[in-house]
Chains A and B, each alone.
Chain A
Amino acid sequence: MAEKLGVYICGGCDIGANLDVDALAKFCADGKHSSAVAVAKSNPVLCSPEGKAMIEADIKENGLDGVVCCACSPRAKWDVFKFGDKVQVERVSLREHCVWSYQEDPKFPGQMEIIAKDYCNMGMTKLINSRIPAPELPTAFKTVLVIGGGFTGMKAALNAAALGYSVILVEKQDTLGGKAATMYKSFPLGAPYSEREQEIGIEQVIKDVQANDKIKVITGATLESLAGAPAQYKATIAGQEYEVGACVMATGWVPGKGEFLKPLGYGSIKNVVTAAEFEAMAKKGGIKTADGKTPTSVAFIVDTSLLMKGVSFGACGEACEGPEEMPCKEGEAAEEGECESYVYPDKESAKHLAYSSELTSLVALKQANYVRELAPDALAYIIYDHMMVPGINEKYYKAAQDDPGIMLTKGTVASVSEAGSAVVINAKNTLLGENVAISADLVVVPTAIVPTTAADPTMNFVYRQGPAFPDLELFDGFADSNYICFPYETRRTGVYAAGCVRQPMGLGLAAEDAAGAALKAIQCIESANRGVSVHPRSGDLSFPEFNFTRCTQCKRCTEECPFGALDDDAKGTPLPNPTRCRRCGTCMGACPERVISFANYGISQMGQAIKEVKVPDTLDKGGPRIIVLCCENDAYPALDMAAMRGKSWSPYVRFLPVRCLGSVNAIWVADAMSKGIDGVMMLGCKFGDDYQCHFVKGSELCNRRKENIAESLGRLGVEPERVEQFEVSIDMYDKVPGLIDEFVRNITTNFGPNPFKGY
């Protein structure tokens, strides 16, 4: 608890021009929190060296343990307003939330001062109810476990070893090398990117791994189980237990099943082979038809439209529904009898062909070059719907195009049939202007990249939420939770995916992945041992604290944690694993007994802050009041940007940033309603199968809980429409003010005052 506060009102950036900053300082010093306020001052430019020196002098002189900076958004000047780890800082955004975004309502002019006072009180209250977190510091195992001894895994192992970490490299097969060792060559991996094809040099990588004394290679083995938490994992490999800090999952891919290729004649026509089979042919040194002859023409089908018939890319389908029951733990199953044995559904489908389309294009170009190299008299045809060669690989396409022996056309393959020993491809919509029939001695159909996680839990976690990554249906089995913002990240802190297990990719990208995932694993170890969060709240010292005396073992927190951070005991009491935790507070939002809080972000702390909003007794005496709980990852920055760009909104709203909408506890809404607040707006990220939530499930869970809240409000005679959640992305600065104004208008015109107002 901060007990000696310094409150500072900045006069810069238009604040001083619109507000009486000295009067505001006096308000803070003499107001309801006067007992905790040791110093309250204004300063023309608080972030100036003089301003900062003034605060530092006050801290020294008065022994302040909390500083409330009433200036700009916490997203600005964060590097200025920090005063060591003994002094807590609360930022009150007068500039963005009060001055810049202020909109005068002729009915009740002069609201700006009221807004400023509310925010100052909220800021002081938050700090008064906040503690400095004191995490436990675990002894971290500094070993990186790399699963998969293919190109990506070996590169990751070498990267981690180069940075001084010991590595355990586990490979299922008896030899290292993975898929790269079965390839003849690769498409270009370096400048000028237009060479025919390139040696991979996998033998050298294997040699480097074997010669590195920091890397312990275990072949012919898999990860049988992974128990514990980041920095303190116990990994069981080939029956033996190893102490591991973090993992890189580079388990790669398997070729897609032949059944999905049937429409292209695969399996029924002898001279139709897959790209993987063609690669093996080239590796053995000869391109041959089924009769053992060198073909005079080889056609590569890149267009997969015939294979995609009836495949829908709409909403996630079954995945959206989610499993009814959490998978059972071994041993538990027999007792409860709910589920006999854990079944991991195979997520492979024809869609994997579509997901692999970039590689299908590049591999077709590469293998067309094989034809030119290994059978120089033969022609190579490529029939594509989209030649997907993004970025620098365009040069590779151009180079292939320049070869007179490689003939390319756009086209939709209508059928593949046998004609003697040759294969005839009928294609529509071709560049040649008409439907064409192309005869080839050998036809190569695409090979889908299917991640190993599509059919197997792979990591075999000993977690309450089961042995596999959750919700991989959303990604058709690819081990990826949010690839745009956070590559390598999975739904399990401490396990970082690299290579084709997370996205179909070539060796160039895989090498980058290996480096990225190895660094993430190291970051995880080096964060866990300092007691801080890894991601996305990197460096956050706080962690959820449980008041177990009041816990009713309802299991909501353990089930809802998006990251499986909480295990539980036989009775159902949660067992926290701080190093698995991402500090989003989804558990705090879930708990009906309100037993979970963070030292500096708690249920009562936020409830107190809400109660600091001064609510006029009736609408006629000063307008409505709306609380806006906004996600600090996307919605809050969007509001800052809106204010910066001169947008304004209703003067009756009060913003309260939250770590994630998942952390919003129903009691806050109840607190607001009992205080006479007319409406609660919740601004969070997009949810659903293409969610943008930084904590994956937060905004979705909030939406689900909101329905319960609305139901409870209904029972109290409060209209459920007073609580509404909106999806806001970070680029919606131009739309957010409209959303706010519309919500305020709706509440005031359609619903009127909160029936509890004035009580």
Chain B
Amino acid sequence: MSTTVKVQPDLKFVKELQAVGGDSLKKCYQCATCSVVCPLSPSDSPYPRKEMVWAQWGLKDRLVNDIDIWLCHNCGTCSTLCPRGAKPGDLLAALRNMAYRNLAPLPIIGKLMSSSAGLLPLAAVPALIYGIIWIIMAGKLGSFLPTFEWDEAAHGWKAVSDGMVVFGGLFPGDYTIDPIFILVFLFMLWGFFAGVRNMLKAFEAQPKTFIVGRKKEPCFIACLIDTFKYEILQHTQFNECNDEESDELDQKRAGGHKMLMYAFICLMVVTGVVASGHWGGWFLTAIGIESLGHIVSAIGHTPMPLYHPIKLLAFVGAGLGVYGLIALTKRRVNLDQEKQSSSWYDWYLLTLIWTIFLTGLGAFVFRILGVALLAYPLYYVHLIGVFMLLAYLPWSKLGHLVYRTVALSYAKKIGRIPMGDAK
């Protein structure tokens, strides 16, 4: 016999949920078709049926602490088969959106990130920073669209007419890129740290389940490694999301997501090599190991020749990214709006990543072609995009790369999902 739970419905919360993508949650009449058809839902108190009734009753405490929203990979089967058009898949997506909004500190960012109205102020921050830098540098170099040649003597770029387009000339990495992005990165880490702490606190508050026949609970690190190995690198849960009736676009979804993720890994490696080459070389030189310092510096020296292995890796990353983006965008555009809809969070992230990839590629192409008029503005937009992606990561849909990883690991730890690639 279960104990009696006091129910404190919260109308405001219901309305908030409806606003962030759960608009049809009230239609649910609890037939549980969703939980039955879900390829991932566990048999013990399965989702998303219970989330639907919690949402209808405005049971905020339950929903914001619910781990199951992170187990869902949003294949949309529940919404497709829902006889009432209640879109349970959308509700779980909306709950995740609420988590992005509320988990990390600085609720102002969460609020700005939750609707199109916040886009302008959010973009204004990097736009102003790099706008001002651009103006100052233009004054210093005598042109808004300067070209450069390498000045061996000064060991730096010198502005000349008819030179090359060099982004590092206009926005010197050491002073305008790296320090800012290191700060942004630290800010992001702080956001995630606080967000994950809140999340784990919420999970801890949930009643424990006792699982018959379960061996010793694995440690969190082991779970985290397991999650990396299966759910992240191989997309085991995500692949499960498809059944034999899924259409082609749905099947490509997990693949597209995987490609995009690999693209980010490639680009992360590229960035890492460039950064460590540059600053490692500087560091080695500074502590007196000059010869090694020069070699390391050379590895990370930009712009790189096109045959440079790191440059090639960057191309691979760009290719994978565009492929993934096309697959994900195509599916989202073709979604049956009656069954599954896309929220601001979905479009914000897709658009931002498209922007970053296209401006990055455009800046590269026009740099090679020497079209300064296009290359610099594209690079400027690229900087804004990357800034937005990184700085607001804990409040954006991409925050799932941390939150979902932690939640899946935690779910493995408490036995909500099994270890390894078992279903």
Q: Check B4–A437 contact: CB distance below 8 A.
A: yes
Known A398-B27, A432-B54; judge A405-B5 contact (CB<8 A).
no
Q: Check B27–A434 contact: CB distance below 8 A.
A: no
Give chain B nearest CB distance to A372 CB in angstroms.
11
Interface string of A420-436 (1 = CB under 8 A from B): 00000010000111111
Whether, in the assembled complex, A391 has its beta carbon less than 8 Å from a beta carbon of chain B, the answer is: no
Known A404-B18, A410-B30, A439-B6; judge A433-B50 contact (CB<8 A).
yes
Q: Please tell me which one of the listed residues A410, A433, A434 contacts residue B4 in the complex, with CB atoms under 8 A apart.
A: A434
CB neighbours of A434 from chain B (8 A): 2-5
- A residues 410-460 touching B (CB-CB < 8 Å): 410, 426, 431-439
Give chain A nearest CB distance to B183 CB in angstroms.
42
How many angstroms from the CA of A398 to the CA of B28 in the assembled complex? 9
Q: Who on chain A is nearest to B17 by CB?
A: A404
Q: Who on chain B is nearest to A407 by CB?
A: B57
Q: How many residues of A contact B (CB 8 A)?
A: 23
Give chain B nearest CB distance to A732 CB in angstroms.
36
How many angstroms from the CA of A401 to the CA of B26 in the assembled complex? 6
Q: Please tell me which one of the listed residues B4, B30, B50 contacts residue A436 in the complex, with CB atoms under 8 A apart.
A: B4
CB neighbours of B27 from chain A (8 A): 398, 401-402
Q: Which of B7-15, B271-279, B307-315, B319-327 contacts A (4 or more CB under 8 A)?
A: B7-15
Question: Which of A398, A404, A431, A433 has the most CB atoms of chain B within a 10 A radius of its CB?
Answer: A404
Whether, in the assembled complex, A81 has its beta carbon less than 8 Å from a beta carbon of chain B, the answer is: no
Q: Who on chain A is nearest to B15 by CB?
A: A404
Give chain B nearest CB distance to A289 CB in angstroms.
18
Whether, in the assembled complex, A393 has its beta carbon less than 8 Å from a beta carbon of chain B, the answer is: no
Interface Cβ pair total, 8 Å cutoff? 61
Whether, in the assembled complex, B58 has its beta carbon less than 8 Å from a beta carbon of chain A, the answer is: yes
Interface string of A244-262 (1 = CB under 8 A from B): 0000000000000000000
Question: Which of A405, A410, A431 has the most CB atoms of chain B within a 10 A radius of its CB?
Answer: A431
Whether, in the assembled complex, B43 has its beta carbon less than 8 Å from a beta carbon of chain A, the answer is: no
CB neighbours of B58 from chain A (8 A): 404, 407
CB neighbours of B57 from chain A (8 A): 407, 409, 432
Whether, in the assembled complex, A403 has its beta carbon less than 8 Å from a beta carbon of chain B, the answer is: yes
Q: Check A433–B6 contact: CB distance below 8 A.
A: no
Whether, in the assembled complex, B200 has its beta carbon less than 8 Å from a beta carbon of chain A, the answer is: no
Q: Check B6–A402 contact: CB distance below 8 A.
A: no
Give chain B nearest CB distance to A367 CB in angstroms.
18
CB neighbours of A437 from chain B (8 A): 4-7
CB neighbours of A398 from chain B (8 A): 27, 84
CB neighbours of B5 from chain A (8 A): 432, 434-437
Whether, in the assembled complex, A379 has its beta carbon less than 8 Å from a beta carbon of chain B, the answer is: yes
Give chain B nearest CB distance to A411 CB in angstroms.
11
Q: Check B11–A404 contact: CB distance below 8 A.
A: yes
Q: Please tell me which one of the listed residues A401, A403, A407, A426 contacts residue B9 in the complex, with CB atoms under 8 A apart.
A: A407
Whether, in the assembled complex, A381 has its beta carbon less than 8 Å from a beta carbon of chain B, the answer is: yes
Q: Check B26–A403 contact: CB distance below 8 A.
A: yes
Q: Please tell me which one of the listed residues A379, A426, A432 contacts residue B53 in the complex, with CB atoms under 8 A apart.
A: A432
- A residues 320-369 touching B (CB-CB < 8 Å): none
Q: Check B7–A431 contact: CB distance below 8 A.
A: no
Whether, in the assembled complex, B347 has its beta carbon less than 8 Å from a beta carbon of chain A, the answer is: no
Whether, in the assembled complex, B334 has its beta carbon less than 8 Å from a beta carbon of chain A, the answer is: no
Question: Which of A405, A409, A432 has the most CB atoms of chain B within a 10 A radius of its CB?
Answer: A432
CB neighbours of A433 from chain B (8 A): 2, 45, 50, 53
How many angstroms from the CA of A297 to the CA of B26 in the assembled complex? 18
Q: Check B6–A436 contact: CB distance below 8 A.
A: yes
How many angstroms from the CA of A398 to the CA of B30 in the assembled complex? 13
CB neighbours of A426 from chain B (8 A): 4
How many angstroms from the CA of A725 to the CA of B2 in the assembled complex? 55
Q: Please tell me which one of the listed residues B3, B9, B18, B26 contacts residue A435 in the complex, with CB atoms under 8 A apart.
A: B3
CB neighbours of A408 from chain B (8 A): 56
Whether, in the assembled complex, B29 has its beta carbon less than 8 Å from a beta carbon of chain A, the answer is: yes
Interface string of B68-95 (1 = CB under 8 A from A): 0000000000000000100000000000
Give chain B nearest CB distance to A463 CB in angstroms.
51
Give chain B nearest CB distance to A283 CB in angstroms.
26
Interface string of B208-234 (1 = CB under 8 A from A): 000000000000000000000000000
Q: Please tell me which one of the listed residues B8, B14, B84 contacts residue A404 in the complex, with CB atoms under 8 A apart.
A: B14
Q: Who on chain B is nearest to A401 by CB?
A: B26
Give chain A nearest CB distance to B56 CB in angstroms.
6
Q: Check B53–A431 contact: CB distance below 8 A.
A: yes
How many angstroms from the CA of A479 to the CA of B15 in the assembled complex? 48
CB neighbours of B2 from chain A (8 A): 433-435
CB neighbours of B29 from chain A (8 A): 401
How many angstroms from the CA of A289 to the CA of B8 in the assembled complex? 20
Q: Check B4–A407 contact: CB distance below 8 A.
A: no
How many angstroms from the CA of A402 to the CA of B8 in the assembled complex? 19
Q: Who on chain B is nearest to A387 by CB?
A: B29
Q: Who on chain A is nearest to B32 by CB?
A: A431
Interface string of B37-73 (1 = CB under 8 A from A): 0000000010000100110111100000000000000
Give chain A nearest CB distance to B127 CB in angstroms.
38
Given A379-B9, A432-B53, 14 more A-B residue pairs with CB atoms under 8 Å apart are A398-B27, A402-B27, A403-B26, A407-B57, A409-B53, A426-B4, A432-B57, A434-B4, A435-B2, A435-B3, A435-B4, A436-B4, A438-B7, A439-B8
Interface pairs (14), CB distance under 8 Å: A398-B27, A404-B15, A407-B57, A408-B56, A409-B57, A431-B30, A431-B53, A432-B7, A433-B45, A433-B50, A434-B4, A434-B5, A435-B2, A437-B4
In the complex, the 5 A-B pairs of residues with the closest C-beta atoms, listed nearest first: A435-B4, A434-B2, A404-B14, A436-B7, A437-B6
